[in-house]
Amino acid sequence: MRRIFGRIYTYMLLIFLYAPVIIMAVYSFNESRTSKIWGGFSLKWYISLFSNKQILTALTHTLIIAAVAMIISTIIGTLAAVGISGLGKYSKKTIMAINYLGIINPDIIIGVSLMLLFTFMDLNFGFLTMFISHITFCIPFVVISVMPVIKKLNTNTINAAYDLGAKPLYTLRKVIIPQIRPGIITGALLAFTLSLDDFVVSFFTTGSGVTNLSIYVYTSARRGISPEINALSVLMLTVVFTLLVAVNLRMLKTERKTK
Amino acid sequence: MTSTILKLENISKYYGNKKALTNIEWEAEEGKFITVLGPSGCGKSTMLSIIAGLERPDTGKIIFEGIDITHTPAYSRAINTVFQDYALFTHLNVYENIAFSLKIKKLSASQIKKRVSALLETVSLSGYEKRDVRTLSGGEQQRVAIARALANEPKLLLLDEPLSALDLKLRKEMQRELKALQKATKITFVYVTHDQNEALSLSDDIIVINKGSILQKAPPDEIYAKPVNSFAAQFIGDGNILNSVVMDNGRAKVFGTAIINCETSGFKKDETAYALIRPENVYFGSAKENSLTAKVISSIFKGEYYEITADLNGERIKGRSEKAFEAGQSAKFEFKDEIYHLMRS
């Protein structure tokens, strides 16, 4: 009895979680323009998506920004985590508290404050400001993804590397990073996803000519969202889902190896 | 002709206000097996880290082959370490672990290959090249760690309680192998342990350390026979440490009445001291008239003899007997005719 209820509960939960996505996916194949009427199965939104220059440019911008933000924030965040882990107890706690501030701080505050900073510094709003702001809000997430694996890292392996003649940089490359790789990958994926779906910070820090997907959707929403967006979302979801499965399989494999 | 390879001069180390090491001074002769013996937390591992260069001393100097290396980073010292937990690189296989330092030295691939297989043969792990280090047993991991530390042909090998994680049988076996390895390679070993038997059976010299200070540095037989104080005496081997009063011309009184022969030079008449009498020199079941009588606390069968622990006027005495005693029984005992060692503290 309890098992049946448990099952029902789980399925209900999954349905509530995924219903919006499923509806979106279904309507992306809808012949009709409005989402109230089912006009039959069609791939036309997918086809027109690839001829919509505005969407494609926005997509390119989003992907470029996400890639840059991912790479740079992963490097900075990982190095920061390695450095923080070597600090004394109190400095470590202080810096981690500051790091958490970046995570719990509402996006709107990050966005506005970055905008103020860029204005104060007299920077031209555009790609540069977008890069800086995305990197900024991604770093704390990379730090918290990498910290736990560093904690599990046997510090004697670092000592052993020094002892065997490895200089600090070589040790970082050949001993520390390979051992904390799972955390780095998690952090990088997290950074990529966060950058991908950010709207608020982007809205405040972008400049003319740099429109990413979220801003495009927001501005076009006034004219009614085109089903092309549904199609695009389904495509992106597929990519993210595949990535996620790949990462999980990889982790499972390494776990088995350890056992 | 032996020469000094390592010299520690006045090394002190603090952690905040806590003193970890105080004025450590000793030197190691080339090719010797030196054991640093002390209870856990006595600072012996800290001393090893300082020699390796993984920690900096607050005062003092480390002289290695006549050169002051106090400020030389660990990676530039021709000293290698076998860590207590082996500290193997789990993301690398056996071959890559051992080749780690050789790659840094930029040896050619064929040279590395040759050296690694020679090292694997030394530690009897031939054919293990491709193995994942995580799948190896404790003893095998230990061997890989030793091979890795030897790869660089260090002049000095530091071993931090390397056998503490192994079971007794394997530990004995590894002890023999380590000793043989040390003899064959002629590398100076500095071996940290809290196991007195290990120290006694392996070393050329033992350094007894407690609370961050050196108590004594001497060969095993000397430490066993003439420990500098009762702490060292209790730490090395089993021993009765009895309150005694020094008499004249090489004698002392224990248990108020019994007279034993002692090395009394340096002691004054009527001075109180501690006499060290090893259990193998205490014979229970004595038939002599003037022998002492104690109340048996325990009698344990040890194969060749019974180990008797007894109480006499509140002092414990441990000795041997050919026959068993009952707890609570009175037993006569005598001391073998030896010249016993006296200690001030």
CB < 8 Å & 24+ apart, contacts of A71-76: A71/A188, A72/A131, A72/A135, A73/A134, A73/A135, A73/A138, A73/A139, A73/A141, A73/A142, A73/A191, A74/A142, A74/A184, A74/A187, A74/A188, A74/A191, A76/A135, A76/A139, A76/A142
Does B323 share its domain with B209?
A: no
- A163–B85: do the CB atoms touch at under 8 Å? no
- Within B33-137, residue ranges assigned H as helices are 44-52, 94-104, 109-122
B157 & B218 share domain: yes
Over 80: is that where the pLDDT of A63 sits?
A: yes
CA distance B237 to B224: 7
Does B1 have pLDDT greater than 60?
Answer: no
The DSSP secondary-structure symbol of A41 reads B
Check which CATH number belongs to the domain holding B297 and give it.
Answer: 2.40.50.140
Say whether residue A167 is in contact with chain B using an 8 A CB cutoff. yes
Per-residue pLDDT of A127-181, as tens digits, reads 999 999 999 999 999 999 999 889 888 888 999 999 999 999 999 999 999 999 9
Domain boundary pick from B233, B251, B278: B233
At B237, the pLDDT band (50, 70, 90 cuts) reads confident
B62, B8 contact by CB (below 8 A): yes
Structural domains in chain A, sorted by start = 48-258 (1.10.3720.10)
Of the partner residues A165, A167, A257, the one whose CB lies closest to the CB of residue B101: A165
The helix/strand/coil state of B261 is strand
- Give the CATH number for residue B211: 3.40.50.300
CB spacing of B74 vs A257 below 8 angstroms: no
pLDDT of A109 strictly over 70: yes
Average pLDDT, chain A: 88
A45 pLDDT band (50/70/90 cuts)?
confident
Interface touch A165/B105, C-beta < 8 Å: yes
Which of A106-110, A226-230, B239-243, B274-278 shows the highest mean pLDDT? A106-110
- % of chain A beyond a pLDDT of 70: 97
Mean pLDDT of B198-203: 87
Same structural domain for residues B10 and B47?
Answer: yes
Q: Which of residues 61-100 of B touch A (CB under 8 A)?
A: 73-76, 79-81, 83-85, 87-91, 100
pLDDT for residue B170 is more than 90: no
Domain count, chain B: 2
Please give, rounded to a whole number of angstroms, the shortest distance from the CA of A85 to a CA of chain B: 17
pLDDT tens digit sequence for B113-147? 999 999 999 888 999 999 999 999 888 999 999 99
- Token pair of B15 as six digits: 């952690």
Closest chain B residue to the Cα of A177, Cα to Cα: B91
CA neighbor of B94 nearest in space, from B133, B134, B122, B123: B133
Question: Are the Cβ atoms of B89 and A167 closer than 8 angstroms?
Answer: no
Q: Say if residue B311's pLDDT is above 60.
A: yes
Residue B127 to chain A, least CA–CA distance (Å): 20
Burial class (CB in 10 A: 0-12, 13-18, 19+), A218: middle
Closest residue by Cα to residue B198 from B157, B230, B162: B162
Looking at the structure, tell me whether residues B101 and B133 fall in a common domain. yes
- Contact indicator for A233, A241 with CB cutoff of 8 Å: no
**What's the count of helices (H) and strands (E) in chain A, helices before strands?**
12, 0
Co-location of B292 and B209 in the same domain: no
Give kind and range of the element (H or E) at residue B293: strand B292-301
Rounded to whole angstroms, how far apart are CA atoms A219 and A225?
A: 9
* B202 and B242 share one domain: no
Among B104, B116, B135, most A C-beta atoms within 10 A, so best to mutate, is B104
Q: What is the mean pLDDT of residues B1-26?
A: 87
State how far residue A240 is from chain B, nearest Cα, in angstroms.
28
pLDDT-derived band at B93 (thresholds 50, 70, 90) equals: very high
Residues B170 and B91 placed together within one structural domain of the fold: yes
Residue B275 token pair: 């006499």
Residue B124 neighbours by CB under 8 Å, 6+ apart:
B143, B177
Beta bridge pairs of residue B309? B298, B318
Query: Band of the pLDDT at B3, cuts 50, 70, 90?
Result: confident
B87, A162: Cβ pair inside 8 Å? no
Identity of the residue in A164, A178, A257 whose CB atom sits nearest the CB atom of B100: A164
pLDDT band at B269 (very low <50, low <70, confident <90, very high): confident
Cα dihedral B180, B185, B191, B196 in deg (nearest 10): 20
Q: What is the pLDDT of residue A257?
A: 55
Distances from the Cα of A33 to the Cα of A29, A225, B257, angstroms: 10, 10, 113
Do B229 and B242 lie in one domain? The reply is no
Instruction: Tell me, yes or no, whether B190 and B85 share the same domain.
Output: yes
Q: Give pLDDT tens digits for A185-218.
A: 889 988 998 898 899 999 999 887 888 888 888 8
Residue A258 confidence (pLDDT) above 80: no
Residues near A76 by beta carbon (within 8 Å), at least 6 away in sequence: A135, A139, A142
Instruction: Indicate yes or no: CB of A160 within 8 angstroms of CB of B53.
Output: no
Gap from B235 CA to chain A (nearest CA, Å): 29
Measured distance CA(B288)–CA(B273) in Å, rounded: 26
Are B81 and B160 in contact by the 8 Å Cβ rule? The answer is: yes
Locus of tokens 């325990």: B298
Closest Cα in chain A, distance from residue B300 (Å): 43
Indicate whether B114 and B193 sit together in one domain.
Answer: yes
Domain ends where: B179, B206, B233? B233
Interface with chain A: mutation pick from B72, B82, B90, B106, highest number of A CBs within 10 Å: B90
Instruction: Determine whether A95 is exposed, middle or buried from the number of CB atoms within 10 Å of its CB (0-12, 13-18, 19+).
Output: middle
Give the Cβ contact number of residue B5 at 10 Å. Answer: 21
Give the mean pLDDT of chain B.
Answer: 87
Q: A16: how many CB neighbours lie within 10 A of its CB?
A: 9
The C-alpha atoms of residue A62 and residue A228 are separated, in whole angstroms, by 17
Q: Which of A187, A232, A239 is nearest to A212 (CA)?
A: A232
Task: Write the single-letter amino acid at B259.
Answer: I
B334 φ/ψ angles, rounded to the nearest 5 degrees: -140, 160
Count H helices, E strands: chain B? Answer: 8, 20
Q: What's the confidence (pLDDT) of residue B81? A: 93
Q: Is B70:B60 a contact under the CB 8 Å cutoff? A: yes
pLDDT value at residue A254: 62
Best of A152, A155, A164 to mutate (most B CBs within 10 Å, chain B)? A164
Q: Which domain holds residue B246?
A: 238-343
B103 & B207 share domain = yes
Would the pLDDT of B290 be above 80?
A: no
Average pLDDT over residues A6-20: 91
- Rounded Cα distance, B326 and B116, in Å: 60
- Could you tell me which residue, A161 or B230, shows the higher pLDDT? A161
With a cut of 60, say whether residue A121 has pLDDT above it: yes
Give the range among A133-137, A234-238, B233-237 with minimum mean pLDDT. B233-237
Structural domain ending residue among the three candidates B233, B265, B282? B233
d(CA B145, CA B84): 10
Is residue A259 over pLDDT 50? Answer: no
- Average pLDDT of the residues in B273-294: 82
pLDDT of residue A170: 94
> What CA–CA distance (Å, rounded) separates B24 from B157?
19
Task: Encode burial over A166-180: b for 16+ CB neighbours within 10 A, e otherwise.
Answer: beeeebbebbbeebb
Residue A132 CA to residue A207 CA, distance in Å, equals 13
Cβ A164–B89 below 8 Å, yes or no? no
Q: Are residues B314 and B188 in the same domain?
A: no
pLDDT at B198 (0 to 100): 86
Structure tokens at A106: 């509402």
